[in-house]
Amino acid sequence: MNLANNYIGSQIGKAKPPKLDLPIATVLDFVDKQIPKFVKSYGTSTNKNEKGLTQKLVRLLSTNLNDHFPFFFDKEAMEDESIGNSPSVDIGVITKESISVKLIHYSKGNQFFAFEAKILGVKESYRQKEYLLGYDSKGKPKNCGGIERFKKGIHGRKLNHAGMIGYIIKDDQKYWFNNINAWIDDLALNQSLIWNSNDKLNFTKSFKTYSKYFSQHSRINNTNSIKIFHFWINLN
């Protein structure tokens, strides 16, 4: 079952499409098929906060996941269960059985994929770039950006693949695609040790209610890059 070819489009820019192992491709394909159902159920809701939307998404994914899939979804999955104040990714994808991804073995009950979710179009101006990186209300850097957390190993430090969910509640896909890539270009000029132009998103495919992108990022204190698959859901 070649899910990878169905997922990665031809308009990928400079990034090379990854060859996906079946467990990763299966997660992406499943989520891909559930997003139209999510939009149909919650797209007209006036309750559009990040945690509420993510909770609804996890419930929908879990409800439609049958016993044949070798994984389940875990909301706010802890990175390190031995530490009470461990960072928690919005959605962890946990194994039901032992699997291998790119020669990395994940035993039963371990996280092998993760999704971080962000609102695209928040009201607070200091949070406008939070899909990429975070600032506090005084404009000081804060490690709360979505892609930033994967790059810094705050989320998914043991993973080579991850996902981002973007809930678009203001403007459109083109606006956010152009702005996020422009922000990365700007960061690359000023913070070259952390960001570079290779961090930019690449367009994959667009539908009426959502669009898909792919990016690949170097990480701090990790020789392996991380591949991120983006689903942007139009909730305007």
pLDDT digits (tens, 9 = 90+) for 103-114: 899 999 999 999
Cα–Cα distance measured from residue 91 to residue 146, given in angstroms and rounded to the nearest whole number: 12
The CB-side HSE value for 194 (13 A sphere, CA atoms) comes to 15
For residue 90, count CB atoms less than 10 angstroms from its CB and return exposed for 0-12, middle for 13-18, buried for 19 or more: buried
Rounded distance between C-alpha atoms, residue 73 and residue 86, angstroms: 18
Length of the chain: 236
What's the pLDDT at 20? 84
Residue 10, pLDDT score:
33
Please give the pLDDT value at position 221: 78
Taking only the tens place, the pLDDT of each residue in 19-64 is 789 999 999 999 999 999 999 999 888 888 999 999 999 999 999 9
User: Are 202 and 181 contacting, i.e. CB atoms less than 8 angstroms apart?
Assistant: no
Phi, psi angles (nearest 5°) of residue 196: -150, 170
In this structure, what is the dihedral angle of CA atoms 190, 218, 32, 103, given to the nearest 10 degrees? 180
Structure tokens at 23: 């467990």
Residue 118: closest CA among 77, 143, 147? 147
Tell me how far apart the alpha carbons of residues 125 and 95 are, in angstroms, rounded to a whole number.
Answer: 38
The dihedral over CA atoms of 178, 183, 188, 192, expressed in degrees to the nearest 10, equals: -150
Regions of the chain short of the pLDDT cut 70:
1-18, 191-193
Residue 2 pLDDT = 34
- 3-state secondary structure (DSSP) of residue 137: coil
As to burial, measured by CB atoms within 10 angstroms (0-12 exposed, 13-18 middle, 19+ buried), residue 84 is: exposed
Rounded CA gap, 61 and 35, in Å? Answer: 9
Rounded CA-CA distance 69/19 in Å is: 21
DSSP letter (8 states) at residue 60: H
Q: What is the pLDDT of residue 80?
A: 84
**CA-based radius of gyration for the chain:** 17
* pLDDT score of 167: 97
